[in-house]
Amino acid sequence: MSNGPVVVLTALNLEYQAVRQRLADPQVHRHERGTRFEVGTVQGTSCRVALGLTSKGNHSAAVIAERAIQEFSPVAVLFVGVAGALWDTVRLGDVVMATHVYAYHGGTSEDDGLKARPRVWEAPHGISQLASHLARLNDWAEPAPGHADAPQVRFGAIAAGEVVQNSRISAEAKWIRQHYNDALAVEMEAAGVAQAGHLNGAPVAIVRGISDRADGTKNSADDRNWQPRAAANAAAFATRLAVELVGEEEEATLRRDDRARSADGFDRGVSNTAHNSTVGIMAGSVTGSSVHMNTVPKSSPTDLIAELNGFREQLGQHRAEGSLDEDTYREALTDLGSALRAAGGNTPESSKRTVMTLRRLRGLVIDCPALVAALASLIAAAGDPA
């Protein structure tokens, strides 16, 4: 099964603490460039979460998101926090999950005005479907004292810009209404995280609790009261989503492994008669009644890296022959790059990351038996005999 965590990122300490309170035994994980994450499990589950703080803004969020993706090879990246509502139909405390993200500051300035040049990233279909299912179950929110109405999950566009939006009449507010009037909420990090996920082949979900209405009331006493509740609601839905994502990934990994074992020839057949038994098994040699299994010793990091680079050439050959389509080839190269980076380490954790990534890669190229067989040897060389 995959050992990859779900990465959860936030921009503010308030949002970070809302997620951290839902983790059991978080442990500091320091990136080689100094970025600190905390890795723990969602309370009462085995779902691992790597939690990180990006600071405000799309640029910072993009850099930290890419760093987290490279470091953890996650099942998914969730960006969690608060946002301002753009319409009165979205209540304070509700959770907005992005169906797509607009980078609304893109444009070109011409003599007759500013023309929009939008960029947009859609949420992965599988995550959107799962989130909609959890929203229908409606059992994720904890009751808030003194508030009879439970928060709801709303699905729609989120607009991500480079300024704090706190007006209904400013030029920026009019720009959003004119060009992005289907957006339910506005914030400052989703576009950066979505771009990082897109470039690295990692699924991204944006989960925002509504803390204000982006109408001039930000930083008011009411806003300060709503911020922690909105952050807590977003954290509650996001961690529930993370648990379900890990569960689905584990099921998918088991299915891929079953198919891979079958393709590798690891199936065992036993036929019994009254006087003898015949056992079909992959073995190195048989002496009398003794079966000597082939084993692949764990390679040194240098040897494994050389073997992984050799596998890159095999991928290129299969693409040239047409047995790998272009999209699968690019995704395979991404996974191979992650495996190479992990293989450069010399720790149990790096070895586990190498094996995990190679097993995911094996599932990706399952329709190419030669590649599957080569990956079986690489996985064993990385330290996993299975």
SS (H, E, C) 325-338: CHHHHHHHHHHHHH
Crossing angle of helices 369-382 and 301-321, rounded to 10°: 170
Q: Which two tokens stand for residue 259?
A: 């198919």
Query: Domain extents for the chain?
Result: 6-252, 279-285+294-382
In CATH, the architecture of 6-252 is 3-Layer(aba) Sandwich (3.40)
Q: What is the mean pLDDT of residues 25-35?
A: 93
> What's the confidence (pLDDT) of residue 17?
98
Specify the pTM: 0.66
Q: Which two tokens stand for residue 169?
A: 């009449």
Average per-residue pLDDT in the chain? Answer: 83
pLDDT digits (tens, 9 = 90+) for 9-19: 999 999 999 99
Per-residue DSSP letters for 289-314?
A: TEEE----PPPPHHHHHHHHHHHHHH
For the chain, give percent helix, strand, coil, nearest 5: 45, 25, 30
Tell whether the model's pLDDT for residue 285 goes beyond 50: no
